[in-house]
Structure 1
Amino acid sequence: MPDTKQLYKIAFGLAIFTIVYNIAEGVVSTFLGFEDESLTLFGFGSDSFIEVISGLGIAHMIIRIKKNPDSKRDDFERTALKVTGYAFYLLVIGLVITSFYNIWIDHKPITTFWGLIISVLSILVMWILVAWKRKVGNQLNSEPILADANCTMVCIYMSVILLLSSGIYELFQISYIDSIGTLALSYFAFKEGKECFEKAKSDKYCGCISC
C-alpha cells in the first residue's frame, strides 16, 4: 500500500482532475445545450461550473488535512461553501423559471443526442472517481475524503437524470420531458446548495444526499 504522503498526493490529484473535468464538461455542455436548445443539458453544464468552486474548496481541504489531519474547516473552505451555495440557489431559480416557461410555450429541443453522450461519459468518469476517492479515503481513514467521495455520487445522480430525459426525448419526442429533467436537476441543485450552507456553519463533512 502507498505511504501516507503518496496517498495524499493521489487525493490531491483526484481533486484537481475533478476541477479540470468539470470545467471541460461545463464548457461543452452549456455550449451544446444552448445550440441544441436543451435546457437540461445547459443546466447540467451550469452545475458543472458550480462544482468547480466546490472542487477548489476540496483541494484546499486536502492540503489542510495533509498538514494536520485533526484540523477543523477553515475560513477559505467556509467561504467556498457559501459561494457554492448561493450559486446553486441562483441556478435553481433560473432553471425552474425557464422550465415552466418552456412547458407553457411547448418548447422542444432541437436534439438531445449530445445529452446522451455527455451523460454516459460523465457517469463512467464520476463512478471511477468515486471508487478511487473511497479507496484513498479508506486507506487514510479520512472522513473528509470519504465525504467528498459520497458528494461526487450526486454528480452521478444528475448524470442519470440527463441520460433519462435525453433518452426519452430522443425516443418519443415529448416536448416537456426536457423541462421535467431540468426540474429534477433543480431539486438536486437545491439540496446541494442547502447542504453547502449547513456544512459552512459546522465542522461535519458528511452532509450529502448519498451519505
Structure 2
Amino acid sequence: MSVRMTEIQRAVRMECVSIAWLVMEAVVALATGIAAHSVALASFGADSVIELISAAVLLWRLTVEARGAAFHRVARAERTASWVVGLALWLLALYILAAASHELLTQHTPDRTPLGLTLALASATLMPLLANAKRSLGERIGSGALKADAACSMVCAYMAWTVVGGVTLTALLNWWWADAVAALALIYFVVHEAQEALVSARTGERAHAHRHG
C-alpha cells in the first residue's frame, strides 16, 4: 500500500471519529441552548450540524479516492467538498449574526446550563487536537477541502470557549450581553475560513497536488 493511500485511510478514520462526536455534540448543544435561550450555545449546536455536513462530505470525498477512483473523479469530489464546506461556513456566519443581534436587541439573559458547559469544555479540549491532525493530513495529501474541514473544527473549538466564557461571565457578573458579544466575535474567523474554502474550490488545490505529487 502506498504512503498516500495510508494517509487517505487515516483521514477516513479521523472523519468517522468526527462524525460520531458531532452527532452527540449537535443534539446536546441544540437541546440545552434552546432550553436555556443561549445564542452562543445554540450557535455552537448549529455549528455542530454544519460541521457534521462538512465531515460527511469530506468522508465521501476521501472514500472516493480510497476506492481507487480515477483522477478526474477525485478532483471533482475535492472541488465539491470545498464548495460545500465554504457555503456551510457562510451559513454559520449568517446564523450567528442573526441570533446574536436578536439577543442584543431583546436584552435577553441566558439561563445557566451545566450540561452545555460540560459539553463545551469537552469540545474545547478535543476539537483542537482533531483540527491539527486534519490540517497536517490535508497538507500532506494536498487537500484544500480537508484543511477547510480542519478550520471548521477550530471554529468549533473557538465556539466552545465562547460558550464557556459567555456562560461564566453571565453567571458571575450578570453581563447579559456577554453571550451574544462572544458569539459575534467569531464571525470574522468564520467568514475568513469560508473564503479560503471557496478559493480552494475554484483553484483546485487538490488537483494540482495530485498531478504533481
- Bin of the TM-score, shorter chain as denominator length: 0.7 to 0.9
Distance in 2 (CA, whole Å) between partners of 1:60 and 1:94 is 26
TM (norm. structure 1) is: 0.78
* Identity across matched positions, percent: 25
Is 1:197 the counterpart of 2:210 in the alignment?
no
Indicate whether 1:41 and 2:10 are aligned. no
| Structure 2 Cα separation of the partners of residues 148 and 69 of structure 1 | 23
More helix, by proportion: 2
Residue deviations 1:84-137 (CA, integer Å, cap 9, x gap): 4333333333331332232122110012434421221002222332455467x3
Which 5+ residue runs of structure 2 have no aligned equivalent? Answer: 207-213
Q: Decide whether the 8 Å contact of 1:113 with 1:170 is kept in 2.
A: no
Matched, 1:53 2:53: yes
On the 8 A contact 1:113/1:166 being kept in 2, the answer is no
Q: Tell me, in whole angstroms, the C-alpha distance in 2 between the residues paired with 1:89 and 1:153.
A: 15
What is the TM-score of this pair, normalised by structure 2? Answer: 0.77
Change (3 A) 1:187 1:30: farther
Matches of 1:83 and 1:150, distance apart in 2: 14
Asked if the contact 2:167–2:179 (Cα under 8 Å) also holds between the matched residues in 1, the reply is yes
Name the Cα RMSD after superposition.
3.1
Q: 1:171 to 1:70 in 2, by over 3 A?
A: farther
Say whether the 8 Å CA contact 1:44–1:185 is kept in structure 2.
no
Residue of structure 2 in register with 1:157 after alignment: 158
Superposition deviation, residue 23 in structure 1: 2.0
State how many pairs are aligned.
202
1:22-66 CA-partner distances (Å, limit 9, x unpaired):
122111111110001001000011011111121123223323444
Letter of the structure 1 residue corresponding to residue 118 of structure 2: I
Change (3 A) 1:83 1:130: closer
Distance 2:47 2:140 in 1: 30
| Residue 166 of structure 1: aligned partner | 167
Q: SS of the counterpart of 1:74?
A: helix
